[in-house]
């Protein structure tokens, strides 16, 4: 895990999970607006993006978790291709926009950083990253989550 350094919030644009700025795109159709992330919108620095929507998944949708490297829903249906498609689109957007980093939704199978749900749909968290977070990190783009409270 390589969290984003504090300086990513200085000037350059940041890719942010759309649900964190109030867009109702979570699996359950809800949003999780987060004050310090919404402040980035007010500053004109946030570029909202939802990799799951970009990958073609509907809202609402069946909850998914990572299990043995695959993204599956509670019925065992594999949604990995849609998650990867959205992650690739997000990486392309981050590069095109010159993003200094990303602020993503914690624990998500797409966006989680450091810990994600274990794939049993029992609420158990395990070490790991979501597919989108992992792809950004692999390409040198720093990532944080909304749970990072040390924000200005």
Q: What is the pLDDT of residue 87?
A: 99
In whole angstroms, give the CA distance from residue 17 to residue 19. Answer: 5
Q: What is the pLDDT of residue 152?
A: 38
Quick check: is 1 in a domain? Answer: no
Quick check: is 106 in a domain? Answer: yes
**Does the CA dihedral 81-87-89-91 come out positive or negative?**
negative
Quick check: is 85 in a domain? Answer: yes
Tell me the mean pLDDT in the region 21-33: 97
Give the number of domains in the chain. Answer: 1
Quick check: is 64 in a domain? Answer: yes
Range list of H helices, the chain:
35-42, 51-54, 80-97, 131-138
Quick check: is 151 in a domain? Answer: no
Q: Which domain holds residue 12?
A: 6-145
Q: What is the pLDDT of residue 9?
A: 47
Tokens of 121: 């749909």
pLDDT tens digits, one per residue of 97-146? 999 999 999 999 999 999 999 999 999 999 999 999 999 999 999 999 99
Quick check: is 79 in a domain? Answer: yes
Q: What is the pLDDT of residue 6?
A: 53
Mean pLDDT taken over the chain: 93
pLDDT tens digits, one per residue of 40-91? 999 999 999 999 999 999 999 999 999 999 999 999 999 999 999 999 999 9
In whole angstroms, give the CA distance from residue 128 to residue 114. Answer: 5
The yes-or-no verdict on residue 17 having pLDDT over 60 is yes
Quick check: is 132 in a domain? Answer: yes
What torsion, rounded to 10 degrees, do the Cα atoms 57, 118, 78, 129 define?
Answer: 60
Quick check: is 49 in a domain? Answer: yes
Q: What is the pLDDT of residue 148?
A: 87
Place of tokens 């249906």: 77
In whole angstroms, give the CA distance from residue 83 to residue 81. Answer: 5
């Amino acid at each position: 895990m390589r969290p984003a350094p504090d300086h990513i919030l200085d000037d350059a644009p940041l890719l942010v999970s759309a649900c964190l700025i109030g867009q109702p795109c979570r699996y359950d159709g809800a949003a999780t607006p987060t004050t310090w992330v919404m402040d980035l919108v007010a500053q004109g620095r946030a570029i909202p993006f939802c990799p799951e929507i970009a990958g073609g998944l509907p809202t609402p949708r069946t909850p998914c978790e990572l299990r043995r490297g695959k993204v599956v829903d509670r019925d065992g249906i594999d949604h990995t291709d849609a998650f990867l498609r959205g992650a690739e689109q997000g990486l392309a957007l981050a590069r095109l926009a010159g993003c200094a980093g990303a602020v993503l939704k914690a624990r998500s199978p797409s966006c989680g950083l450091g810990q994600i749900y274990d794939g049993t749909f029992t609420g158990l968290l395990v070490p790991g990253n979501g597919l989108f977070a992992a792809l950004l990190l692999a390409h040198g783009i720093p990532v944080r989550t909304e749970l990072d409270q040390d924000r200005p």
